[in-house]
Amino acid sequence: MSMPSVLGNVGSLLSNQSNHDTYSGTSSLTHTDSAGKANMVDVSGKLPAVRIAKATAHVSLGKQAYNLVRENQLAKGDVLSVARIAGITGAKKTSDLIPLCHSINLSKVSVDFDLVADSYSVVLYSEVKTESSTGVEMEALTAVSLAALTIYDMCKAITHDILISDIKLLLKTGGESDYNIAKI
């Protein structure tokens, strides 16, 4: 497939997506100053609160890789256990990876998986919890992203025909603007 046709497919996929302008939070960018320059948000005036975020991702493996993961038969080891640890580590390192994220003490990080036999895929879920002045949605998204990338890394010797998709926030609570995808 040539590059223009690939880009055309991406363009059509993006234009067919549903409208995601349902967020009811602030209407201005929070990580820019009055001149439009990037800056870290000052959260020192916010009171700490219990904050929870949940995210998901989807990894399509194909039949052979899926069966090897399900049966824990990959030569590299237990894919899901390694992916879980990678996701937890990723959540803890989010502020090192995303420049304007605050360093947050996390009180809980979990990464779980559903194996979906009919589509030869793995659905990943993360939950991150803290008591802080800022939310943990980036940590939840980083957890599922790193876990998904780890699954790819551990399965790539079997196939490169692996698709990571649908990385999204499911829930965030405890802040000024809670979010729950189930209510949209």
Q: Which residues are catalytic?
A: 153
Position 137, amino acid: E
**Which residue carries 């690939």 as its tokens?**
6
Q: Are 58 and 166 in contact (CB under 8 A)?
A: yes
What span, in angstroms and rounded, lies between the C-alpha atoms of 143 and 97?
A: 12
Q: Are 170 and 135 in contact (CB under 8 A)?
A: no
What span, in angstroms and rounded, lies between the C-alpha atoms of 80 and 77?
A: 9
What span, in angstroms and rounded, lies between the C-alpha atoms of 144 and 1?
A: 29
What span, in angstroms and rounded, lies between the C-alpha atoms of 183 and 30?
A: 24
Q: Sign of dihedral through CA atoms 111, 114, 115, 116?
A: negative
Q: What is the dihedral of CA 114, 117, 118, 124, to 10 degrees?
A: 20
